[in-house]
Chains A and B, each alone.
Chain A
Amino acid sequence: MQFALPPTSRKPSHAQNYTSSFSSRSPARRRRLQLIAILACGAFVVFMLFSRIFSSSPGRPPSGTSEVVLVTVIDDHGFSKEHIEQIKQNRRDYAERHGYTTFLPARADYNLKGAPGGWACVPAMRHALTAFPHSKFFFFLGQNSLIMNPALSLHSHITSSERLESIILRDKPVVPPDSVIKTFAHQNGDDVDLILTQDEEGLGYRSFILRQGEWSRFFLDTWFDPLFRSYNFQKGEAHALEHIVQWHPTILTKLALVPQRILNSYNAVPHGDEENGKFQEGDFIIRFPKCDSGRIPECEKIMNPYLPQKAEEQ
């Protein structure tokens, strides 16, 4: 017979001979080898641990960084000093309660090159992204809004992945009432970089949440495009936002629409959709849309009942 392989009895006998003679000859040496191996493993583990710690340190925020930054652009033109102070205090109280940071720049800080004042929210957000590079979420709140339920933390109320996935409005026309562009039917909470609401007329751009990152800088720069600012959009920055959201899919993919009363309840709804838009007790935010149209004395009067009440509570 011819065998494809050599008979098996020969080779193992050699090998066994070799190892057995080696190990039996020096048990002390064997023990030493074991010790060396264990030490080497230990050293390796320690090295990996340290390298992990040191390599991740630049990515980890330095201690004392708050997770959320609250941004409001202050335009004190025509308002009384006390009123402005109360608005600021409203933000500060909320931030203090949850360990957040407030960022309250003045509108005059930003040179808009002749564009309407509302545009200041864009560079202000860009500024906040720069000033707090380690914070995760940036909550823009228009000046004429108040935080009514400071007990709600942004994380549990909106930004946590599970919560966000439960409240996202999917497959909804981005711009009401009948835009052909709709939000995505499937969206992961972690993929969302911009959280917005709609009211009856358009996008609720006076309160939105941005996630820190390259995408947000891209989004803000695009929104702030000089050609949009100089274009006669009827409602300035609001229409520019609606424009980019509808025309540019890279922006739409990162956008999540949430129900209006999550972060943008109104004190009065112009067309009567009270169920979805009007402020109810326990809502997070109340906004006074009339104030944005410039009737300031009237505005202070409307807001006052909400303000002192807040002040007493605190």
Chain B
Amino acid sequence: MSLSRSPSPLPHGGWATPGLTSGRSSPTKRNYGDINGNGNTVSWASAKAKSDEVNGYPSFSTRSNNFFGRHVRKLSHSLPRFNLGRRKDFAEKEKLGRGRWSSAGPGGRLRNMATLAGNIVRRMRLRFLLLIGFILAVIVFYVSPLQYMWRRTSFLGGGSKFVVILASNQGGGVMEWKGPREWAIERDSVKNKKRYTQRWGYGLDIVDMTTKKRYAHEWRESWEKVDTIRNAFRKFPKAEWFWWLDLNTFIMEPSYSLQSHIFNQLSKNTYRDINHYNPLNISHPFTQFYLDDVSRSPVGDGNPESIDLIIPQDCAGFNLGSFFIRRSEWTDRLLDIWWDPVAYEQRHMEWEHKEQDALEYLYASHPWIRSHVAFIAQRKINSFPTGACDENGEDPHIHYREEDRDFNVNMAGCEWGRDCWGEMYSFRQLSNRLNRNLWEKFKDAISDKWGELWNGPGRQKG
């Protein structure tokens, strides 16, 4: 019989290749020096005898004859060795054996416990393996970057179809001096979106909206949404839906995926007929007799496939602080038409919200726009804090409510006389509190109880 490689000896005298072992004593007698063809006279048996001298192992174990015994012994070789300080005198003399658990020495509690644990593990081997496998799977799929990868794939998670565009540094640069609060807002908001997109495998495009002299003719200053969206289209060529978010937004419920929250049931979550909620009083649909049926229908063609733009409306009309736009031919046309020099020249004094007002105008006057626009209930993607749109008090269609666990908060207009950082901070804390895991809830409950005990029931922490 020939061998493809030299057999490896095991310390207890067994052989890795079972066919070679006739009896346990046989390897000691055989000489394999000639097999390797090196003519070396150092036989394995003599080397083993030497090493037995050194590490003090008996070459034949009398104790671990059964299968498990052998393997547990093997395991213990690779375990860390503790110098328990019992055999100092011995260790000085024999350096290689220093601190080794002595099989011959008195058992010790540690060793007994280890044996006990080993026995339990051995007895429940299958279940134990399953448990370890499960924990490993959880780590691999939910904690490691692999989660990001599989949620991105088109057939498992579909996350690569979505991209979040975050407009940072708005008006920064020349117009305003950024203080520590502005930096803190920026940091929190960016971190929030980074975490969210990481979690679901979406793309994230953080864009710098610094006011710059970007155009030769100077007119278009800070009408940059269009170019930003176009750049994002280019940067993420495989993505389909792009979610625009202003900086002053906070995703309160990172556990909602865009798919389950909106896109799996697009027709249920959106409405095409603006008469459903029409703060601008746009007359809808068009009634001109020369228009086609789709343009004159209040719901376009009624097919969710034809939706290319999803916008929420607040108390004053369209709100582009948080909206979805889809890559399509229609969108290319919209991005092209959105800014027009003739319209701009006539209206730029009126259109103080720039793209938002221009879009309202286009929606009101162009039939081809309407058949591809859908609206979404504001609180689905763009809840307001109580400070915004509050002329008529709190409105269940507009303002954030904790008990409904709204998805995203937009602190719209907080830069006009409200405290952006304060709002951002309180929403961040609220989101953290609402999304605690079980362990954190447990800890908090304990500390609350503790506080109650010491400070009396009247002084709970807020």
Contacts and interface: CB of A to CB of B under 8 A. Distances in A.
**Interface of chain A, main secondary structure:** helix
B368 A218 contact: yes
B317 interface: no
A248 B337 contact: yes
Given A218-B368, A226-B365, A247 B340 contact: yes
Interface in A1-22: 1-2
A97 interface: no
Q: Which of B290, B291, B337, B366 has the most A CB atoms < 10 Å from its CB?
A: B290
Nearest to B366: A221
B333 A247 contact: no
Contacts of A214: 329-330, 368
Given A1-B2, A2-B4, A221 B342 contact: no
Contact of B343 (A127, A129, A130, A225): A225
Interface in B352-369: 361, 365-369
B295 interface: yes
Given A221-B368, A227-B347, A133 B337 contact: no
Given A123-B290, A129-B292, A217-B292, A228 B368 contact: no
A24 B336 CA distance: 73
B144 interface: no
A227 B332 CA distance: 21
Interface string A218-250: 100110011110110000000000011001111
A133 B292 contact: yes
Contact of B342 (A2, A126, A127, A243): A243
Given A1-B2, A231-B346, A243-B342, A250 B333 contact: yes
B341 interface: yes
Given A2-B4, A126-B290, A247-B341, A217 B367 contact: yes
A110 B341 CA distance: 27
Contact of A227 (B4, B295, B343, B368): B343
Interface residues of B, number: 27
Given A221-B367, A222-B366, A227 B291 contact: no
A108 B347 CA distance: 30
Interface residues of A, number: 29
B288 A231 contact: no
A249 B354 CA distance: 21
Given A214-B368, A250-B332, A227 B342 contact: yes
A248 B336 contact: yes
Contacts of B340: 225, 227, 244, 247-248
Contacts of B330: 214, 218
Contacts of B337: 222, 248, 250
B346 A126 contact: no
A55 B341 CA distance: 45
B167 to A, nearest CB: 24
Contact of B290 (A127, A215, A247): A127
Contacts of B2: 1
A157 to B, nearest CB: 28
B333 A227 contact: no
A5 B332 CA distance: 59
B333 A218 contact: yes
Interface string B3-14: 010000000000
A261 B366 CA distance: 34
A228 to B, nearest CB: 6
Interface in B299-344: 329-330, 332-333, 336-337, 340-343
24 contacts: A123-B290, A124-B290, A126-B290, A126-B292, A127-B289, A129-B292, A130-B290, A130-B292, A133-B292, A214-B329, A214-B368, A215-B329, A217-B295, A218-B333, A218-B368, A221-B367, A221-B368, A221-B369, A222-B368, A225-B340, A247-B341, A249-B336, A250-B337, A251-B336
Given A222-B366, A243-B342, 13 more contacts: A2-B4, A127-B289, A130-B290, A130-B293, A133-B292, A217-B368, A218-B330, A221-B367, A225-B340, A225-B365, A227-B340, A230-B346, A231-B346
Shortest 10 CB-CB contacts between residues of A and residues of B: A127-B290, A250-B336, A130-B292, A218-B368, A221-B366, A221-B368, A227-B343, A250-B333, A248-B336, A123-B290
Interface of B: 2, 4, 288-293, 295, 329-330, 332-333, 336-337, 340-343, 346-347, 361, 365-369
